[in-house]
Structure 1
Amino acid sequence: MTSLTDSIDLREVVDVVIGVDTHVHTHSAAVVDARTGGVLGEITVEATCEGYAELIEFTERHAALRAWAIEGTGSHGAGLTRTLSERSEVVIELDRPVRAKRRNGAKSDPLDAIRAAREALARPRLGTPRTGGDRQALAVLVTARRSAIQAAGDAQRQLFALIIAAPEQIRSRFRGQQLKTMIRTAAAMRTHTTWDLETTTTVTTLRTLARRSQHLQAEADDYEKTITAIVKSWRPDLLDQPGIGPITAAIVLCAWSHPGRIHSEAAFAMLAGAAPIPANSGQTTNRYRLNRYGDRQLNRALHTIAITRQRCHQPTRDYTARRTTEGKNPREIRRCLKRYIARDLYRRLENPPSPLDAT
């Protein structure tokens, strides 16, 4: 069958499309005729292996040539998507519906399932779900590391605030220290029986927060080591590019997933929120809006790469200087850089170097 990312008409390749509205405990599905758009059947099943088997058995009564349009293939629908992929079923990835697009504000699980099937029939280009394996492992590790970093930062900010308001005999121990030294000092503090309740409680809390921060930072470091190992075994060529470290490479790989999933470099830039949005009207024909949509983590990764290259990469520094003389401000220059970086990354991802190139 033609790749789902190509421009195809589903009505020409399948008899029915099964739209699935996924939730934590149940999935609602609707079988829609690919040629007429009519609803041939509806069912709601449990989000379990038994429920998936019941759903597949239900759809087999209608047609053998079928495609599945599933919302939330990477979250609530991950189990069903994995089961269907193992059976070599055709699966189309759909986003959750924008509430304003629902006709007359109507909302129910069966209606959303029907809408998913009909939306897949109307789309000129169809997206495939992200893969599992290395990509899913990276996604799990990146999420866990981000959570650990955020929690460690919260503990550090709380510790600093408590030191500012601590009694003088405690505060004097930290005077002139940087934050990392403060954490080490607080983690090693001991209480004394002669102290009052306020001082004892403050020292105990500071020690707890410091050790929590150290533990979370060590956890984040372990995640980063594992992420680095996976990136090096999967796409080590990304790490050779200026400004790209293991974390930014992992975020890019998680968003991209596999060759052919994103049909063009313009689509990749749109996914990253790095494609300018036209805002023309009347005689105004050269105005653009900032794109605040797309994968914001991928957008942040492009921003990190752009900032790093502006500091350390001479061709990027030369480009920045040239655009500055043309009247561009720093924000506009970074937006241009992010668009160029998105284009370069997409081409590299879709055309990985061969083993012969590495030698």
Structure 2
Amino acid sequence: MPMLAEVIDAVIGIDTHRDSHEVEIADVAGRPIRAMRIGNDSAGFTQLLAAITDLGPGLRVVASVEGSRSYGVGLARALSAAGVQVIECEQPSRAQRRGKGKSDAIDAHLAVLAALRLDADQLAAPRADGDREALRILLVARQEIAVMRTAQTNRLRALLLAGDDTDRQAARGSLTQRSLAALAERELPAHATREQVVRQAEIRRLALALAQAERELKENRAQLLAIVDDIAPGLTSRYGVGPVSAAQAIVSFSHPGRCRNEAAFAALSGTNPIPASSGKTIRHRLNHGGDRALNRAIHAIALTRIRNCPRTRAYIDRRTAEGKTPREIRRCLKRYIARELYRALNAAMTA
């Protein structure tokens, strides 16, 4: 398995920031050839591409970009469009910084060194744009709406619990669209106090906001489903896989080739087994790292199957008879789900 340093001629380490990027161009031995600072704009991108051209024609160059999907997203797109291979670079750990200090130039050099130590066939490609980015935007919006809805629901129930018996009964019940509309439209008594007026105004505001949030979540779900069906037809027909969990799986998977195999996808999702044996106890546990959003999506799929899927219930009974604990059984289920998602996405998106 060749190292990256064996198949390229130069590597570019880039430490990205909001306004500017620190760049170091080095040879395959990690020796700096040129250092520069460019702006985070089209002029800066052109400046870097000109510096790459000055290296000589036909050179094999790889750019190691820290923050390729945040501050460096524009630069990563420009480099990819120009035919320069871009790889993701992890932020340096404290151990890597020990004895070196902290500066933009040091971080750019560490990006160079991190790239040169990689295997040539195991490079972390940046995540894709297009429909995948549209899904990511919708998921971020959904998370924001859901968090706000939870806070507003708690606030509304608190206000209702401080009211009369009718309000307290409403606080204990479900806040459906009909009950929210009734709360927003109810009228105050003729001689209402200032406290009652303010309380009802706030109840009305929260009820309308919650009704609007529910409509936005339904619209968001419909948009997710439409894009998921275009990217990976049939994915949501699998048991327990809804539009939200399917969208998160696509966002994390990104494109064929980002995860070299299903084991890498399992590690990304935090569902790969980690040895946790001691003495006579032989067991495994789940990986606590990886993409936690993807892990939550797989956990939701597993819970749905545990509750309702006859095939999954039969599997649980069989593994329980073998002496497995519920936690160990969930670990196995999540690993199977990760394998199923990887194969389905790889087949659908490759086709």
- TM (norm. structure 1) is 0.90
Q: 2:175 aligns with which of 157, 179, 185?
A: 179
2:332 maps to amino acid: C
Deviation at 1:102, TM superposition (A): 1.8
Q: 2:116 aligns with which of 115, 121, 128?
A: 121
Q: 2:290 aligns with which of 283, 289, 294?
A: 294
Which stretch shows the higher mean deviation, 105-114 or 283-292?
Answer: 283-292
Contact 1:280 1:288 in 2 (8 A): yes
1:45 maps to amino acid: I
Aligned-residue RMSD, C-alpha: 2.2
Quote the residue 1:3 is aligned against: none
Deviations 1:11-38 (A, max 9, x none): 233211001111122111111111x210
Q: 1:111 aligns with which of 83, 106, 113?
A: 106
Deviation at 1:184, TM superposition (A): 3.0
Which stretch shows the higher mean deviation, 139-148 or 101-110?
Answer: 101-110
Deviations 1:66-123 (A, max 9, x none): 1100111111111111111222211111222223332326211111111111101101
Query: Could you tell me how far apart the structure 2 residues matched to 1:153 and 1:68 are?
Result: 43
1:103 maps to amino acid: R
After superposition, where does 1:1-359 map in structure 2 within 5 Å?
A: 7-34=1-28, 36-63=29-56, 64-104=59-99, 106-124=101-119, 125-166=122-163, 168=164, 171=167, 174=170, 177-180=173-176, 182-192=179-189, 194-279=191-276, 286-352=282-348
Deviations 1:53-74 (A, max 9, x none): 1122223323432110011111
**What percent of counterpart residues are identical?**
39
- TM (norm. structure 2) is 0.92
Contact 2:26 2:32 in 1 (8 A): yes
2:325 maps to amino acid: N
2:10 maps to amino acid: V
Q: For 1:351, what is the secondary structure of its paired residue?
A: helix
Query: Could you tell me how far apart the structure 2 residues matched to 1:175 and 1:127 are?
Result: 50
CA 1:353/1:290 → structure 2, altered by over 3 Å: closer, same or farther?
A: closer
Quote the residue 1:4 is aligned against: none
Contact 2:266 2:338 in 1 (8 A): yes
Query: Could you tell me how far apart the structure 2 residues matched to 1:142 and 1:353 are?
Result: 20
Query: Could you tell me how far apart the structure 2 residues matched to 1:139 and 1:330 are?
Result: 33
Query: Could you tell me how far apart the structure 1 residues matched to 2:202 and 2:87 are?
Result: 51
CA 1:9/1:173 → structure 2, altered by over 3 Å: closer, same or farther?
A: closer
CA 1:48/1:191 → structure 2, altered by over 3 Å: closer, same or farther?
A: farther
Query: Could you tell me how far apart the structure 1 residues matched to 2:161 and 2:168 are?
Result: 10
Deviation at 1:190, TM superposition (A): 3.4
Query: Could you tell me how far apart the structure 2 residues matched to 1:279 and 1:176 are?
Result: 44
